[in-house]
Amino acid sequence: MPKPAYDIIIVGAGPAGIFCALSLLEARPQARIVMVEKGLPIQERACPKEKVGRCVGCQPCRITTGFSGAGAFSDGKLSLSCEVGGSLPQLIGEQRAQDAISVVDGMYLSFGADEHVEGLGATHEVADIRRRAIKAGLKLVDCPIRHLGTEQAQQLYGRIQQALLDAGVELRFECECTRLLIDDGVCKGVCVSSSAGEEELLAHKTVVATGRRGADWLDRICREYGIAHEPGPVDIGVRVEVRNEVMETVNNVLYESKLIGYPNPFRNKVRTFCQNPGGFVSQENYDGGLAVVNGHSYKARKSPNTNLAILCSMNFREPFDRPIAYAQRVGELTNMLGAGHILVQRYGDILDGKRTWPNELVRANVRPTLPDAQAGDITSAMPYRAMTNILGFMKSVDEVVPGFAAEETLLYSPELKFYSNRVKMDDSFVTNVGGLHCLGDSSGWTRGLMMASVMGYLMGKELGEHV
């Protein structure tokens, strides 16, 4: 092969890829870096739904692809505890992970992140919430949150994008990685496709950081090229929406209540995730037209509702090894029932064994913040095991937050998190393929904005010593 044109190729311009580049530039300012991203630059990532009131099916979705990735564009919450955000501490050690969180948090602050941290102080109030959680059989995880806000996160990442350009990083947008160039067990680069056609890019090191949006793609790549990996859990759940008054104490004291339980009879892990006080339920689109639900939380713009995800972790054993495909099928069936829309159902209707009708949503206290959600029956698509776990968990949360499991509480489906393909690597993120590293949520080791950023930062430090 000819001489590499780059020191490093980064596939995916989400938090992991971004902080890998920033960290490498700190050590090697002259490093030749190219970032390949199938989506758009940050300033062009406006969702048409804001204007037309419905999803128009952008390909690729402007919410899940583009500079800063899906998580940063949704609500921009930085979890400042290594207890939250996936399994990276198991790989690199808790202290190293927590130390890196402090460094990365400082980097976010240098680009203009809000200095205020949610969830600090209010010791007595937190203790009271914890007592109720213990009584209900739940664990409350303390996790300070730095909330960027959807609109301010876009501005912050706009500054980071410009900083990378100013440093000489080559950013290739609307450019999709189609395959890896592997020769004798060593990755030499990637093949990319864009409007200009196909092209081979060569580098000394290749970093794949495709995020949740690219988890299925990375799974196929691992199978095709023999990249050692193992199936991990996949999260299947719902997004719950209640009035702010119901969540007022938790919102004011913790901002985000991270509760974990193992409800009977199946004892699967169920947890709350991505809480958005005064937020808005949103839709994301994946390849093949799959529509999934998520949530936004702005700094200035507020709704009368709070939304959060309840996720049930499904662990599969031999001979089954395709958890991502399993979750996709659940989502596709739900989309089919909603004629391509997100389904919404009242909690009380689920208990009564009936579907929800549009007129029932209109006259309730909780009005949906996702206007084109289709009232229906999510239990017709949700697996029995997952649905049973979620309902049992909600009853327990109601003991911590009275009114949470009210009849009119809204459940949206499908809420799916694709980070199942856990790539085997050492604590320097070295895979069994020479010259290839995998980062972030698609690697299976992180879940969320901060931990993906941390993994990228540490990868950049490693590369700075060897490139």
Q: For the chain, which residues make up each domain, given as ranges?
A: 6-113+149-230+422-466, 123-142+233-417
| pLDDT band per the 50, 70, 90 thresholds, residue 35 | very high
Structure-model confidence comparison of residues 315 and 137, the more confident one = 137
Query: Is the pLDDT score of 248 beyond 70?
Result: yes
Query: Is the pLDDT score of 420 beyond 60?
Result: no
| pLDDT band per the 50, 70, 90 thresholds, residue 348 | very high
Give the per-residue pLDDT at 72. 65
Give the per-residue pLDDT at 54. 76
Provide the strand spans (E) within 84-185: 139-141, 145-147, 170-172, 176-183
Query: Is the pLDDT score of 446 beyond 80?
Result: yes
Give the per-residue pLDDT at 136. 98
Q: What is the pLDDT of residues 134-178, one digit of tens each?
A: 999 999 998 999 988 877 888 999 999 999 999 999 999 999 999
Class of domain 6-113+149-230+422-466: alpha beta
Give the chain's mean pLDDT.
93
Query: Is the pLDDT score of 49 beyond 80?
Result: no
Q: What is the pLDDT of residues 192-230, one digit of tens each?
A: 999 999 999 999 999 999 998 888 888 889 999 999 998
Measured between alpha carbons, how far is 382 from 359 in angstroms, rounded to an integer? 23
Query: Is the pLDDT score of 419 beyond 70?
Result: no
Query: Is the pLDDT score of 416 beyond 90?
Result: yes
Integer CA distances (angstroms), 81 to 84, 94, 96, 145, 271, in order? 6, 10, 12, 9, 16
Percent of the chain surpassing pLDDT 90: 78
Give the per-residue pLDDT at 74. 66
Give the per-residue pLDDT at 390. 98
Percent of the chain surpassing pLDDT 70: 99
Query: Is the pLDDT score of 45 beyond 60?
Result: yes
Gyration radius of the chain's alpha carbons = 21
* Residue position matching structure tokens 């950013």: 171
Give the per-residue pLDDT at 1. 62
Q: What are phi and psi of 439, to 5 degrees?
A: -130, 165
Measured between alpha carbons, how far is 253 from 443 in angstroms, rounded to an integer? 33
Q: Is the peptide bond before 319 cis (omega within 30 degrees of 0)?
A: yes
Structure-model confidence comparison of residues 444 and 193, the more confident one = 193
Question: Cα–Cα–Cα angle for 14, 435, 168, nearest 5°?
Answer: 50
